[in-house]
Amino acid sequence: MVVDGARRTEILDTAARLFASSGMRTSLKEIADACGILPGSLYHHFDSKEAILVELIERYRADLDDIAEQTLAELKADKAPAPEAIAARIVALSEAIAACAVRHRAAVLLSFYEPPSGASDQLVKLAQRSPLAIWQAMLETLRVGRKRHYIRPGIDLETMADRICTTMISISLGVFRGVRGADQLPKLRCHILLDGIATQPPSDAALDRSSAFRAAQQVVDSWDKVDEAQDERLANLQAVARAEFGRRGFETTTVRDIAKAAGIPTGSVYRIIKSKDELLTSIMRAFSDRVRDAWGSVLESDATAVEKLDALMWTNVNVVDRFSDEYNIQLAWLRESPPSTLNLGKTFSARLQDVKTLLAEGQRSGELHVEGPSADMRAWSLFDPMWMHETIVRKVGPQAALALARETVLRGAAERS
């Protein structure tokens, strides 16, 4: 006989697995069926799906807080760590954050979107609360690294801590889950940010003058041009839908939600666009074309591999700044695989292949060095650090975000031996 405590844990674990694989559309009946119990029996333990979601997030946050508490205790106990010990501590903390996020993938997914319409204030506040304890633990670790002359002067430690934590948490959401060697990603990405991958990083002034950077800026400037041929009604509907998809996630946003946000009847939406899937496709096709053209212009420029990498990072910063809703929708594909009407996987795979080719070019010329067991894993490890999280771009602005990208991905935050 299963005791109540064990049954409750089983329900939570099962729900977490289903939410992680099928998204928030998972029903209480599906959870009950997977547990081998009747839906009515499930209500003896949880009075709603929301109650399960709340407890999943609380378990995730509690695990992160435990990691933070242990890290701070270890920092306090070690009064004078050597630089190599600091490096190992940053990597260990990063790996612990990533492992925690993988264990609690369903809760991590909830933290990236607003809860569904009608969610309680408790769930909304819980899902939107930042994991401050783990950020503080990373920040204190970096501060010790600065004091012990491991982290270079001039690095914004608060933003650096945010960047490492966000990068590690996002590892739980990528399509590389289950890929051979994926367990090495936290360490590989941490070393990219700490050590940098440019063997002889150019100055900022030299990078700003490169033909690759000029090509990127030219494309970014072209985004200001308005497509006068586009249907105004469709453009307005796309603008509303972008915001709703980016804020709520595709699967939990309904046509009714979009119509309400647009201030028009639901029937009017269907007179403009046939379905929610078609609306997503119309939004994302233009976005994908912009990113493809921008990357293509940079990669075709007469520039070195390091200059191209830098220009791609500037392009990505501007993509996040200018098209944050579309960017978040694309991330949703990595997390939950939205409809197949537009295969975002092909778009992502094409950009990943670009990174793989650029790395091979840079390694042949001796400009770039990235650790990893295979060319694919090296490309995987670099792809995420080439992008800057939206919260950081919003907080510091595009120029400061680029500066941080250069000081980490290219030069490395740690002192070079």
Q: Residue 239 and residue 223: Cα distance in Å, rounded?
A: 15
pLDDT of residue 332: 58
Q: 3-class DSSP state for residue 151?
A: strand
The Cα diameter of the chain in Å comes to 72
Question: DSSP class of residue 318?
Answer: H
Is residue 93 one of the residues assigned to a domain? no
Is residue 299 one of the residues assigned to a domain? yes
**Burial state string for 312-327 with b = 16 or more CB within 10 A and e = fewer than 16:** bbbbbbbbbbebbbbb
pLDDT of residue 179: 63
pLDDT of residue 352: 87
Q: Residue 51 and residue 321: Cα distance in Å, rounded?
A: 35
User: Angle at Cα 387 formed by Cα 381 and Cα 389, nearest 5°?
Assistant: 115
Report whether 103 contacts 63 (CB < 8 A). yes
**What one-letter code names the amino acid at 330?**
Q
Is residue 132 one of the residues assigned to a domain? no
Q: Residue 329 and residue 336: Cα distance in Å, rounded?
A: 10
Is residue 58 one of the residues assigned to a domain? no
Structural domain total, the chain: 2
Closest CA to 141 of 102, 185, 189, 97: 97
Question: Which CA distances in Å does 383 have to 172, 267, 330, 352?
Answer: 15, 41, 14, 7
Is residue 233 one of the residues assigned to a domain? yes
Crossing angle of helices 132-147 and 49-77, rounded to 10°: 20
Question: DSSP class of residue 325?
Answer: H
CATH at residue 384: 1.10.357.10
Report whether 128 contacts 114 (CB < 8 A). yes
What is the Cα Rg of the chain in Å?
A: 23
Q: Residue 332 and residue 345: Cα distance in Å, rounded?
A: 11
Give me 410's structure tokens. 């290219």
What string of H, E and C letters represents the secondary structure of 224-257? CCCCCCCCHHHHHHHHHHHHHHHHHCCCCCCHHH
Q: 3-class DSSP state for residue 198?
A: strand
Question: DSSP class of residue 150?
Answer: -
Report whether 216 contacts 294 (CB < 8 A). yes
**Burial state string for 30-53 with b = 16 or more CB within 10 A and e = fewer than 16:** ebbeebebeeeebeebbeebbebb
Q: Residue 73 and residue 92: Cα distance in Å, rounded?
A: 14
Is residue 270 one of the residues assigned to a domain? yes
pLDDT of residue 393: 94
CATH at residue 6: 1.10.10.60
The range of the structural domain enclosing residue 29 comes to 1-47
Judged on CB neighbours under 10 Å (0-12, 13-18, 19+), 229 is: exposed
Q: Residue 31 and residue 52: Cα distance in Å, rounded?
A: 10
Q: In the beta sheet, which residues pair with residue 168?
A: none
Q: In the beta sheet, which residues pair with residue 198?
A: 368
pLDDT per residue of the chain (417 residues) written in tens, 0 to 9: 344 678 888 999 998 888 877 767 788 889 989 988 888 888 888 888 888 888 898 999 999 999 999 999 999 998 788 888 999 999 999 999 999 998 888 888 777 666 665 666 777 677 677 789 999 999 999 999 999 999 999 899 999 999 999 999 988 766 555 566 678 899 999 999 999 999 999 999 999 999 999 999 999 999 877 555 467 788 888 888 888 876 776 767 888 888 888 888 888 888 888 888 888 777 777 788 888 999 999 999 999 999 999 999 999 999 999 888 777 776 655 544 433 434 445 677 788 899 999 999 999 999 999 988 888 889 989 998 999 988 899 999 999 999 999 999 999 999 987
Residue carrying structure tokens 């948490």 = 169
Phi, psi of 368 (to 5 degrees): -125, 145
pTM: 0.84
Is residue 259 one of the residues assigned to a domain? yes
Is residue 102 one of the residues assigned to a domain? no
What string of H, E and C letters represents the secondary structure of 342-394? CCHHHHHHHHHHHHHHHHHHHHHHCCECCCCCCHHHHHHHHHHHHCCCHHHHH
Q: Residue 123 and residue 4: Cα distance in Å, rounded?
A: 24
Q: 3-class DSSP state for residue 414?
A: strand
- How far apart are the two ends of the chain, measured CA to CA in Å? 61
Residue carrying structure tokens 């793989």 = 356
